[in-house]
Amino acid sequence: MNDYAALLIPLLIINAMVQLLSFMLGYLSKKFGYGKPVEVKLSDEKTLVGQSGETLLSLLARNNLLIKSSCGGKGTCGECRIACKSEEHNAVIAWNSIERSLIPENELKTAHRLACQQKLKQNISVSLPGNSAFFNKKTANLIKFEAISISYKKLFFRLPDSTDFKPEPGQYIQIFIEKDSDIFIRSYSIASFSNDGIFELNVRFVEDGVGSTYLFELKEGDEISFFGPMGDFRVPENHCGPLIFVAGGAGFAPIKYILLELYKRKFSDEVFFFWGVSSFADLYDSDLLFSLAESNKSFHVFFSVMNYSDSQPFKLFKGNVIQCLENFWIEKPEAVVPKLILLSGPQKMVEKTCEFFSRNGINPQSIIYDKW
C-alpha cells in the first residue's frame, strides 16, 4: 500500500500541473488573441487569413508571396516596408523600437512598418510603397553539389521553367523553409547562372543555422521553394573606371558572379579584389580568380587568411581583410582612385570597411554593400 501511494502521488501532482498549464495557456490565448483568425487585405483586393501572433512576413510567405527582405526577417535590413492600417478604425498601427530605428520619421508617420516586425492582432489593410512588388514563389531542384571544404558547399539547382527568372549579377534569392510548423526565410546570393536555367549557390555551414543545415542536408533531386531574384548589389552596365571589391567569407558568392559577367563583356579598367577568410581551405575558387588575373592584366586579387601555415602555394596576407586593405592602401599607386566600391560580408566587416574608406576620404555614395 505504501509503495502504491508513493507511485500515485507524483502522478497526481504531474497531472495537476499539466491541467494548470493547459488552463493558463488557454487563458492567455483568449486574453491576448493568439491563434485567432486575422484578415489582411492586400492592395489588389485579395484577402489573406492569418493567425494572430504570426508576423505579416510569415503570412505572406505561406501564401506564396514575399517582399524584399535581405536579412530574412531578422529585423536588421529594414527593407520589408509596408504601409498598413487597421481595418476596423482606419487607424495607424503602433511601431516597435526596431522599426523606429530602421524607418525614417516621415515614413513612420505615414503608416510604414516592417512586415517582419508586425505581429497580427487585428484585421488590417496593406499596401506596398513606391515601386515595391510582391515576389511569387518559385521552385528548383538540386542537380548536383560539391563539398569544397569542411565549411562550404557549392549547390547547383535547375529551374523547371526559367523564363521569368533572369537574375542580374549580385542579386540573391530567399529560400522558404518549413520546420516544425514554423516558417523561415533565408537569403543566399547567386554565385552563377546559365541560360539553361541552372543557378549556383555557395553555402557556408553555420552550426545550428536553419538555412545552411537545410541546404547541406539536401540530396540530388530534392526541390526547394524560393522567392526572387532580388537586390541592388551590382555594377551598373555602363560603368567605367576603377573598381574595388571586398568580400568576407561567403560574401564572395555575389562578387564571383559579378566578376564573371564583367569579364564576359571585356571590362578593361582596373579591378582590385580583396577576399578575407578564416582558413586557407575556405579559398575555394582561388584557381578561378588566378585564371581571371592571368587573362585580364587589370585584375588584381588579394587574399587574407586569419590562420595558415607558411607552406601555402601562393602569397597570402596573414590577418583580416581590413588589415589587408589597409596594407594595400599604404602602398597603392596614386593613380588608383576607385569610382565604385562593393562590399559583401558580415555586418561588422562591412561597417568597419566603410569606416576605413571614410577615413581615407572616399565618398560614401560610391560604396554599395551587401551585409548579413
- Kindly report, residue by residue over 237-246, the tens digit of the pLDDT: 888 889 999 9
For domain 37-127, the CATH class is: alpha beta
Helices (H) and strands (E) in the chain, counts: 9, 19
Q: What is the pLDDT of residues 37-84, one digit of tens each?
A: 888 888 767 888 988 888 888 888 888 787 777 787 888 888 888 888
Beta strands (DSSP E) in the chain are: 37-41, 47-51, 65-66, 81-86, 112-114, 124-127, 135-136, 138-147, 152-158, 172-179, 182-194, 198-204, 223-230, 243-248, 271-279, 299-307, 317-318, 340-345, 367-371
Cell numbers for 350: 562591412
Provide CATH 2.40.30.10 ranges for the chain: 137-230
Q: What is the pLDDT of residues 73-121, one digit of tens each?
A: 888 888 888 888 886 655 667 788 898 888 888 888 878 889 889 888 8
Q: Residue 54: CA atoms inside 13 Å, Cβ hemisphere, count?
A: 21
For domain 137-230, the CATH class is: mainly beta
For domain 243-371, the CATH class is: alpha beta
Residues of the chain with pLDDT below 70 are: 1-35, 44, 87-92, 129-133, 308-314, 333-335
Provide CATH 3.10.20.30 ranges for the chain: 37-127
**Residue closest to 278 by CA, chosen among 316, 248, 301, 256:** 248
Residue 249: phi, psi to the nearest 5?
55, -125
Provide CATH 3.40.50.80 ranges for the chain: 243-371
